[in-house]
Amino acid sequence: MASDRQPDSPPDDRRSDRPADDGAADHGAAAPSGPPRFDAAFRRQLAQLFAWRRDVRRFRTDPLPEGTLDALIREATLAPSVGYSQPWRFVTVRDPDRRAAIVANFERRNAEALSAYTGARAEAYAGLKLSGLREAPEHLAVFAAETTERGHGLGRQTMPETLRYSVVTAVYTFWLAARAEGIGVGWVSILDPEEVRRALEVPESWTLVAYLCVGYPLEEHGDPELARHGWEVRADDAEVVVRR
Q: What structural domains and CATH numbers belong to the chain?
A: 50-234 (3.40.109.10)
Instruction: Report d(CA 75, CA 178) in Å as an integer.
Output: 10
Strand-by-strand arrangement of the 138-145 sheet:
88-93, 138-145, 206-215, 184-187
Q: Is 213 exposed, middle or buried (0-12, 13-18, 19+ CB in 10 A)?
A: buried
Instruction: Report d(CA 214, CA 221) in Å as an integer.
Output: 16
State the alpha helices, DSSP H only, in 130-224.
162-180, 193-200
Phi, psi at residue 227, to the nearest 5°?
Answer: -75, -40
Q: What percent of the chain has pLDDT over 70?
A: 87
Q: Which of 187, 183, 62, 192 is nearest to 130 (CA)?
A: 187
> What's this model's pTM, rounded to 2 decimal places?
0.85
Q: Which of 92, 62, 65 is nearest to 76 (CA)?
A: 92
pLDDT tens digit sequence for 228-237:
999 999 999 9
Q: How many CA atoms lie within 13 A of 95 on its CB side?
A: 9
* pLDDT score at 222: 87
CA 135 to chain centre: 16
Q: Is 185 exposed, middle or buried (0-12, 13-18, 19+ CB in 10 A)?
A: buried
pLDDT tens digit sequence for 184-229:
999 999 999 999 999 999 999 999 999 999 999 999 888 999 999 9
* pLDDT score at 33: 77
* pLDDT score at 11: 37
pLDDT tens digit sequence for 33-81:
789 999 999 999 999 999 999 999 999 999 999 999 999 999 999 999 9
pLDDT tens digit sequence for 133-189:
999 999 999 999 999 999 999 999 999 999 999 999 999 999 999 999 999 999 999
- Return the C-alpha torsion angle 60, 181, 100, 87, nearest 10: -170
